[in-house]
Amino acid sequence: MGEQVKILIAGQYHWIDLLFYHRELQCLIAVDLKKEKFKDEHVGQMNKYLTYLREHEKFEWERDPIGLIICEERNKEEVHYALGGLEEKIFVAEYRTKLPTEKEIEERLKKLK
């Protein structure tokens, strides 16, 4: 659907980093990319985007939009309390700035056996 999708809320422009449509789920997926550790306010920002998309972009037959916050680092307990009831609408994931070493990959593969 797009990148840096501009939306207007209360006279101010906001930009959704990435906006996808999931054909199987039949819903919009908003992705917010953060070059920092997860913060509580990221959830509020994403929830605002999802509310806008639900009220202005979603068709009647579609499911409610889903949000994905991808950040440099997250603490599972911090994320748990920040989401507080939004777990089915907003998801938080980490990105990697470097690939794991060969040794780390081997160790992870051993754990899978």
Please report the pLDDT score of residue 44 as a whole number.
Answer: 92
Among 47, 36, 93, 37, CA closest to 70:
93
Compute the average pLDDT of residues 69-80: 90
pTM equals 0.81
Query: Vertex 61, ends 5 and 21: CA angle to 5°?
Result: 35
> With bands split at pLDDT 50, 70 and 90, how would you rate the model's confidence at 104?
confident
pLDDT digits (tens, 9 = 90+) for 26-47: 999 999 999 999 999 999 999 9
Compute the average pLDDT of residues 40-60: 94
Is 27 in a helix, a strand, or coil? strand
Domain boundaries, the chain: 2-112
Please report the pLDDT score of residue 9 as a whole number.
Answer: 93
> With bands split at pLDDT 50, 70 and 90, how would you rate the model's confidence at 96?
confident
CATH class of the structural domain 2-112 = alpha beta
Please report the pLDDT score of residue 111 as a whole number.
Answer: 84
Partners of 5 in beta bridges: 16
State the Cα–Cα distance between residues 21 and 110, nearest whole angstrom. Answer: 37
Q: Is the pLDDT of residue 87 over 80?
A: no
Compute the average pLDDT of residues 52-61: 95
